[in-house]
Structure 1
Amino acid sequence: MASSPQNQLAQSLKALHNPGNPLILTNVWDAITANAIASLPSTKALATASYAIAAAAGLHDDDLTLETNLRAATAIAGVAKVHNLPLSVDFMDGFGAQLEEGVKRVIELGAVGINLEDFGREVGGLYSVDEASERVRRVLRVAKECGVPDFVVNARTDALFAGEGLEDAIVRGKAYLDAGASNIFIWGGPQRRGWGRAEVKKAVDALDGKVNVILIRMMAGGLSVGELREIGVARISVGPQLMLRTVEMVKREAVGILDGSAVTD
């Protein structure tokens, strides 16, 4: 049976995850930012950032609902379709018992991948390794039933954020890869000033390069794209940092307008 156009996009997204030649994602949160990023020749895929989507809706990230997330993703998916780009949706923790329903709807709107976290809001902590792995398998079962067997799960572990350490994050990452995830996103939480080179290399070596790392743009000390490429990661993203930097730019422009100091370009 021939692969569907949507599954071909999923295959394209999966193929872009190459250790040492990583997929670089400048995460978006609405149709305006999606259009801006999609128009760039170097853009290979679109990916949403749940924190930024929540902020645009006047919500804290933890209060983002499935419906609000899907509403934003629908607008972004329309842009992805126009540009024939694969779309990955930040699906947070899978919205508890809404996991299967939500994944089906994500696929219906055209997405071919998700981020899936192992820190469950309804349990107030990390899912067990077995439960989190089963949630990955559940996502992939739904995707297969929907005709997208190559659906990409970027499985995020919050083990570092929860204080469990890098070794636990690696154990979890291996389990999620075994469950069918394509890549592992190890997140350290907002208090960490980025990964150290030795930490990233240890994770890359243990997980065969199938690692997503956040590129730090809001403070000094983070590893560069070139350094992350050299270490051998497969995916680099920026999360909500573009949104945060945009807010500061808007404020600076507004100050100049409001106090009369703005100069016409």
Structure 2
Amino acid sequence: MALNELAQSFRDLHKPGQPLLLANVYDGITARAIASIGSCQALATSLSSVAAAQGLSPDRLDMDTNLRAGRVVARIARDFNLPLSIEFGSGYGDQLEQGMKQIIDLGAVGINLDDADTQTSKLYSIDEAASRIRRAVRASVSSGVPDFVVNARTDTLMHGGTIEDAITRGKAYLDAGAFNVFVLGGSERGGITTVEVMELTEAFNGQLNVSVKLAKGGLTVKDLAGIGVSRCSIGPQLQFVGAKAAVEVAEEFLKGGLR
């Protein structure tokens, strides 16, 4: 399948009311394990998980290291003929166009692009963030993938912004060429409420990505589908679950309790 056809198929998976579900991966092991699940429709990386797998914090993950991990996942995505989206942080400044070319060369058809600087956590102005989206879109067009999917993340709620601020930013990002908007609520804020998801979904005509919490008590995939969301992801939570399970087994082993 030609790369832009794969990008088109990735776009088609975003259906309001029947959301694309992404269990974010971070290395070859998790990518192959998730890709092997029959209901898996696409792969997506988690930047914070990729960083943690390298012993780094997200702000110290340089572009080359991030894309090295992406290259491994991309090989598996090709094996399973699955679309791949790379979490690209804030785009690495002046390296944005170069990074886009490398991302497309490795076979990915989507990115997450943040509106807060990965290194400093400083929130970009709306104009600057929208300009970076336009740069990414132009780079994808010049690389022959006009249907490349930019999932524009806004961190405004984590910086004291309101839902109205998130809507203003999201609409600007869609106008700039983003295909989806990802509004991050943040753990300190307690995530995003049902009412807020409804407001965001209506404002973006369903072109909304919501992070689903694996712990009980939060909004479920069924809840979000009923609201009309088009994309759900779990970010670094897969890594958290895996690490916890590994610690439990290792502790039992190191106590001499395993046979």
Equivalence for 1:86: 83
Which residue type is aligned with residue 253 of structure 1?
Answer: V
Distance in 2 (CA, whole Å) between partners of 1:123 and 1:244 is: 24
For the Cα contact (< 8 Å) 1:6–1:112, is it kept in 2? yes
Equivalence for 1:20: 17
Alignment of 1:245 onto 2:220 = no
Which residue type is aligned with residue 66 of structure 1?
Answer: M
Distance in 2 (CA, whole Å) between partners of 1:192 and 1:36 is: 32
Structure 2 alignment gaps of length 5 or more: none
- Correspondences of 1:177-192 after superposition (within 5 Å): 177-192=174-189
For the Cα contact (< 8 Å) 2:58–2:118, is it kept in 1? no
Which residue type is aligned with residue 258 of structure 1?
Answer: L
Distance in 2 (CA, whole Å) between partners of 1:117 and 1:136 is: 9
Distance in 2 (CA, whole Å) between partners of 1:66 and 1:44 is: 26
Which residue type is aligned with residue 59 of structure 1?
Answer: L
State, as a whole percentage, how many aligned pairs show the same letter. 51
- Single out whichever of 50-59 and 185-194 deviates more from structure 2: 185-194
1:37 to 24, 34, 43: 34
Equivalence for 2:69: 72
Structure 1 alignment gaps of length 5 or more: none
Distance in 2 (CA, whole Å) between partners of 1:51 and 1:246 is: 15
- Correspondences of 1:1-265 after superposition (within 5 Å): 5-121=2-118, 124-217=121-214, 219-263=215-259
- Single out whichever of 123-132 and 193-202 deviates more from structure 2: 123-132
Aligned CA RMSD, in angstroms, stands at: 1.2
TM-score normalised to the size of structure 2?
Answer: 0.97
Give 1:123 shift: 6.2
How many residues are aligned here?
259
Which residue type is aligned with residue 232 of structure 1?
Answer: G
